[in-house]
Copies of this chain bind each other. A is one copy, B any other.
Amino acid sequence: MEQRTALDLAAEIRTLQTAGHETALRELLEQLHPADLAEVLEELDEADRAATLQALDAERAAMAVEALDVDDQVVVLRLLDRRRVSEILSHMSNDDVADLLGDLPPEEAGQFLGLMEREEARDIRELLQYPEDTAGGIMTTEFVSVPAVATAAQTIDLLRRLAPDAETAYYVYVVDEQGRLAGVLSLRDLIVAPPETSVGAIMNPNVISVTADTDQEEVARQVSKYDFLAMPVVDAERRLLGIVTFDDVMDVLEEEATEDIYLLGAAGVEEDVDILRLGPWKRATRRLPWLVLLLFGQLVAANVIAGFSSALEAMVALAYFIPILAGMGGNVGTQSLAVAVRGLATGELSRRDIFRALMVEIQTGLLLGVSTGTLIFLVALAWQGIPLLGLVVGLAMTLSMTVAALVGTLVPMVLERFGVDPAVASGPFVTTSLDVTGLFIYLGLATVFLRTVGLTLAG
């Protein structure tokens, strides 16, 4: 089964559906993991998708729908009749339903909510209040909580009664009379404990939690630090509101990494848009605004060169080194940027002394500048035989690399301080501004030196 691709399976399902082999179809669908079913659904056309989702039992249909992207979830649900939609929604996790409805126009979201049980609809309305990228926005309200006086046996009984709805019951939370979080215990603690022990006696009272407004990236960082299966979310009075489960955390980690990589590449897409499905027109229109911005940046560079045209006319060999000076600062800046953006994303950098971190990078830039500056001085001297040119090129390289290390580190730090995603300081933007800086340093130095030495070495 693992060997068969989603394409193979989709073909098989189409064949079985056309031939009307309902039993064989059901058997095939039975064997598939919901995540694989989701991939197969993506390959089917509308009629076959609807038929497949009808052939599945409601719980598995719901799990397959959960594994789809939100865009596809909407497409799929619009194909089905109201009764089926109602069944699927009631079997989906609250947080997934909230994500789905949050993407719909309010009127359609209201219609879907109308198909759900009143209590569930109320929970989901509450979840929809939280911003998407916070703990509240990714938590589910389906958790298991008991009072401290409950026994292990009573708690196991409760779990038995709640199943199979309590799919997120990795932990049982212990709450006091006011619903405030008092402790936590795992299913293993429950199984291992003597049946008549109270959960208050076996729970871990040092329970770590986040508040509903905590940024999802911070939640992911903590879950990953503590290796939790779920993180409890509380309000200001420590009342338990919901839990964020590890699978959502893995999605957040992937999303944030994708976002950082796209932003560093200025690819012009949000992390939750599947760019690989977009055609050339849509891709081009998303990326064009960024490129036009960068083009204006480069036009500034062109103006810098034009402003120093007399130096270039005096020594045309200066032009040969333009891409080197424009480019190498950008390369150092990109290195510094990659280190800073990732350090901020994993929280490694935020835990350290910011000023010291900045100084270390500047010193690194200076060391890199001196070594490559010496190298390019020798190359320029050997190639063109003009000591002045070599000196200008080497000195400009040293200076621009030091500036680049400073800029590449400082910009994401400042953005983070002001609450902006540091990856917005995307590679191309930092490189373009460093292009301009590098050229300015280079041609400025050249002009000063040419004037001071008073030489006209024009070809």
Residues of B within 8 A of A459 (CB): 309, 313
Instruction: Check if B327 sits within 8 Å of A435, measured CB to CB.
Output: yes
Which of B249, B287, B366 is the one whose CB lies under 8 Å from A250?
B249
Q: Most chain-B CB neighbours within 10 Å: which of A167, A324, A331, A342?
A: A331
A206 at the interface (CB under 8 A from B): yes
Say whether A85 faces chain B, with CB atoms less than 8 Å apart.
Answer: no
Give how many A residues have a beta carbon under 8 Å from the other chain's beta carbons. Answer: 123
The listed residue (B295, B324, B326) touching A372 by CB distance below 8 A is: B295
Partner among B276, B306, B427 whose Cβ is within 8 Å of the Cβ of A427: B427
Q: Which of the candidate stretches A12-20, A106-114, A184-192, A445-453 sits at the interface with the other chain?
A: A184-192
A158 → B minimal CB distance (Å): 10
Please determine whether B435 and A266 come into contact, CB atoms closer than 8 angstroms.
Answer: no
> Are A331 and B291 closer than 8 Å at their CB atoms?
yes
What are some 12 contacts across the A-B interface (CB < 8 A)?
A2-B208, A5-B351, A160-B191, A160-B192, A163-B191, A167-B188, A261-B342, A265-B337, A280-B361, A284-B367, A284-B368, A298-B324
Please give the distance in Å from A51's CB to the nearest CB on chain B. 22
Interface of A is mostly: helix
Report yes or no: A323 in contact with B320, Cβ–Cβ below 8 A.
no
A169 at the interface (CB under 8 A from B): yes
Q: Among residues 318 to 370 in chain A, which have CB atoms less than 8 Å away from a CB atom of chain B?
A: 319-324, 326-328, 330-332, 334-335, 337-339, 341-343, 346, 348-349, 351-352, 357, 360-361, 363-364, 366-368
Q: Which residue of B lies closest to A436 (CB)?
A: B323
